Structure 1
Amino acid sequence: MEFRHLRCFLVLAEELHFGRAAQRLAMTQPPLSLNIQQLEASVGAPLFVRNSRGVALTPAGQAFVPRARALLDAAGAAAREAREVAQGVSGQLRVGFAGTVLYRGLPQILRAFGQRHPRLTLVLREMSSSDQLIDLQHGRLDAGFVHTTRVPPGCSQVLVSRQAFVACVPQAHPLAHKRRVAPPALAGQPFVAISRAVSPDYHDRLLALCADHGFEPEVRFELRHWLSVVSLVAQGLGVSMVPAALQQAGLPGAAFVPLQGDTPPYETRCLWRSGAESAALAAFLDAVRGFALPTE
């Protein structure tokens, strides 16, 4: 049974006349008759009665009409979906992100992308930068928003944003109302840090920043998420240095104060596997580039 058999059957079922059906199908009557015979042989039952008065559907033919129409409709829908996925009009993308991107970059990108491509579905996964790198290399993510300068071979990148670190202290802390804080002012206090296992770049950078200012922070807690770092500080359990965008989280009890002097920038990059750009991913990357920082 082939789709051409079904098309011939449905047109003949509507016309109940070989001549008119053949004309609609842009063929002569002999090929139409052959297609119907082949279909009946495949089904194993006569679908039409042919006599001197014309053509009529048998009970088997009447039962077969809705099923044949459903088969052709499903085939047409499958073909349309395949074309749309190939063209980047519809489909699904798996996108990883580190939590701080929710406060700078990701919402704007999602809004622009959704307006242009409403039929493309994004499956968002909040993950650490290190976990995203693993899943990108194994093809379990199509793109990821990471906070690392250690871009692995085989990955392409776009620098999405760059922001400063700020001091994060409890609101009741003596430093909370300062206009600026020198990093050494955080010395000798319980320090809340992002885990080295989760973000080795920035864990080490912040320790190096402290060392450059002549002190070693008393790291009391290491956490997997920056928002957890701020939450612990807000509870009065320590101080920290965090990306400035976390001020938008609105957690009560935490105060953010700009740091004096040069501090390492906190950068967000969008990564994807080089050479793996589908039409849908290309459309998403267009939205990313629309928000990204200009190339230096």
Structure 2
Amino acid sequence: MELRHLRYFVVLAEELHFGRAARRLSISQPPLSVAIRQLEESVGARLFDRNSKEVRLTPAGHALLASARALLRQAEEAALEARDVSQGSAGRLRIGFVGAMLYRGLPQALRKFQAKHPAVRVTLSELNSGEQIAELLHDRLDFGFVHTSRMPAELRHVLLMSESFVVCLPVGHRLARRRTVPAASLRDEPFVLFSRNVSPDYHERILAICADAGFRPEVRHEVRHWLSVVSLVSQGMGVALVPNAMRHSALRGVAFRPLEEPVAQSESYGVWRDGPENAVVQAFLRTVQAGRAG
């Protein structure tokens, strides 16, 4: 049984006339007759009673008609869905992100993407960079936002954002009165630091900034999220070096000040699996890059 046979059957059932049905299908009568005969052989029952005067559905034909229409609708819907997925306008998108992306335009990019692609089902998972890379490799994520450019060969990546580190201080701290802060002035301060296990890149960059200023920081607390870093600083638990985007965290009790000297940048990368192009992923990447350009 072929979809072509079902389509011919439905049209003939609606017209009950071989000539009109053939014209509607843009074929001649003989192929239509052959197709109906083949369908009847496949089903094992006569679907039409026909003579020189009329064509009528048999009880078996009536029974098949509703199911045939449903199957044709499903086939059409499947074809439309496949086309939409190939064009990036439907499907699913599983996104991993580090917490700092909430202050780097991710919510805005998601709103724009969903407005243009409402049929795409988007799910979010907050994971650190290493966890995202593992999930991408196991095909449990489609796209990730990470802090590292060190990637397995199976993944592709692109730099999305590079921004400076700033000093995060309790609002009443003596250095909070300065317009800029020399890194060396943090020498004797207790530090709240991003955990090495969560992001080795960030951990190493912050230690490198301190090393360039001639000291090794006294690390009192290590945490897994930038928001936790800022929150502990707001409670007077230490000072920190954080990406500039954390200025937008809106937590009270903290002050952000630029460093006096140029330092290593905080970088964010978009990452996805290498291989055949995923139109949904590429559509989302274009949205993210357009927002960055804007």
Q: TM-score, normalised by structure 1?
A: 0.88
| In structure 2, distance between residues paired with 1:293 and 1:283 | 15
Gaps of 5+ in 2: none
SS at 1:176 equivalent = helix
What residue is the counterpart of 2:18 in the other structure? Answer: 18
Gaps of 5+ in 1: none
Q: TM-score, normalised by structure 2?
A: 0.89
Amino acid at match of 1:225: H
| In structure 2, distance between residues paired with 1:182 and 1:74 | 67
Amino acid at match of 2:26: A
What residue is the counterpart of 2:289 in the other structure? Answer: 289
What residue is the counterpart of 2:79 in the other structure? Answer: 79
Q: For this pair of structures, how many residues does the alignment match?
A: 294
| In structure 2, distance between residues paired with 1:67 and 1:93 | 33
Do the aligned residues in 2 keep the contact of 1:159 with 1:292 (CA within 8 Å)? no
| In structure 2, distance between residues paired with 1:167 and 1:236 | 14
Query: How big is the shift at 1:276?
Result: 3.9
Amino acid at match of 1:228: S
Query: How big is the shift at 1:292?
Result: 4.6
Amino acid at match of 1:166: V
SS at 2:177 equivalent = coil
RMSD after superposition: 2.4
SS at 1:27 equivalent = coil
- C-alpha change, 1:291 and 1:28, in structure 2 (3 Å) is closer
Query: How big is the shift at 1:257?
Result: 2.1
Query: How big is the shift at 1:205?
Result: 1.6
Query: How big is the shift at 1:250?
Result: 0.8
The reply to whether residue 159 of structure 1 matches residue 159 of structure 2 is yes
What residue is the counterpart of 2:179 in the other structure? Answer: 179
| In structure 2, distance between residues paired with 1:261 and 1:279 | 43
Amino acid at match of 2:262: D
What residue is the counterpart of 1:36 in the other structure? Answer: 36
What residue is the counterpart of 1:217 in the other structure? Answer: 217
Query: How big is the shift at 1:111?
Result: 4.1
Do the aligned residues in 1 keep the contact of 2:48 with 2:61 (CA within 8 Å)? yes
Do the aligned residues in 1 keep the contact of 2:13 with 2:57 (CA within 8 Å)? yes
| In structure 1, distance between residues paired with 2:17 and 2:274 | 58
| In structure 1, distance between residues paired with 2:252 and 2:198 | 25
Do the aligned residues in 2 keep the contact of 1:105 with 1:160 (CA within 8 Å)? no
Query: How big is the shift at 1:67?
Result: 1.3
User: Which range moves more in the overlay, 9-18 or 137-146?
Assistant: 137-146
Do the aligned residues in 1 keep the contact of 2:149 with 2:157 (CA within 8 Å)? no
Query: How big is the shift at 1:15?
Result: 1.0
Deviations 1:182-202 (Å, cap 9, x if unpaired)? Answer: 223333333211110111011
Do the aligned residues in 2 keep the contact of 1:164 with 1:266 (CA within 8 Å)? yes
| In structure 1, distance between residues paired with 2:27 and 2:234 | 79
Query: How big is the shift at 1:291?
Result: 4.0
User: Which range moves more in the overlay, 205-214 or 7-16?
Assistant: 205-214
SS at 2:175 equivalent = coil
Deviation >6 Å, runs of 4+: none
| In structure 1, distance between residues paired with 2:62 and 2:151 | 63
Alignment of 1:29-178 (within 5 A): 29-51=29-51, 53-178=53-178
